Amino acid sequence: MQPEESHQRYNPDLTQEGFPLITSFRTLTLLLVVAAFAACGPSEKPTPPLKIDACALFTDADATAIAGESIAGMSSTLDEARGRDPGQCIYNSGNLEQPRILSLLIRQHRSPSTAKRTLEASRSTFTTMNMTKGHVQDVRGLGDGALWVGGSLQQLHVLRGAVELVVTVQSPDGTDQLKPARQIAEKVLERLNKAAKT
């Protein structure tokens, strides 16, 4: 029997990904700068954005299967005020004090080439971050290109055309989570391909 989904509010000291707010803010700032430089390239026709919902691509059943235990969907006061962002889906198989986050973030870039430039630019940033401990590697046979970022981030970045999928799977014991992250990404890509054809 599938566990009943519940909703939790964020720990005020943590971001949606379960990391300390200050650290993640610095990381986000760095990545935004990287993305801005990466986007500067030859002019090209923009790719129309896909109308997709992250929680339809990564369901609570998927998260439960990976976690091996009950999960809860996470929401914030901003979500409650404005409605859930369809570009992200976040689950927690831990608790508010010790979260274990499983999430999918969808980033839609201007074009496939912009997505590739952004990921390549991000690679060098990730490599030098203390949070990753230098654990950055290519993942073959996944989408149009994929990058695993280990350390305390535990994120798999996957490209599919102009879409970038960011799959986060946190480990309760600090072990590398590339295998379950890849399982999630493969299922998401399968559903994304079907959605793109409709």
The enclosing domain of 32 has a CATH number of 3.40.1000
Q: In order along the chain (198 residues), what is the average pLDDT of each group of 10 residues? A: 44 43 41 46 73 94 88 60 82 82 95 94 88 90 96 94 96 87 97 84
Question: What token pair was written down for 48?
Answer: 């129309």
Print the domain residue range for 70.
Answer: 7-197
Question: How confident is the model at residue 131, as a pLDDT?
Answer: 84
pTM (two decimals): 0.74
On whether residue 140 sits in a domain, the answer given is: yes
Question: How confident is the model at residue 194, as a pLDDT?
Answer: 87
Question: How confident is the model at residue 30, as a pLDDT?
Answer: 46
On whether residue 151 sits in a domain, the answer given is: yes
φ and ψ of 76, to 5 deg: -125, 170
On whether residue 36 sits in a domain, the answer given is: yes
On whether residue 1 sits in a domain, the answer given is: no
Count the Cβ atoms, other than its own, within 10 Å of residue 20: 13
Number of domains in the chain: 1
On whether residue 167 sits in a domain, the answer given is: yes
On whether residue 2 sits in a domain, the answer given is: no
Question: How confident is the model at residue 197, as a pLDDT?
Answer: 77
On whether residue 135 sits in a domain, the answer given is: yes
On whether residue 136 sits in a domain, the answer given is: yes
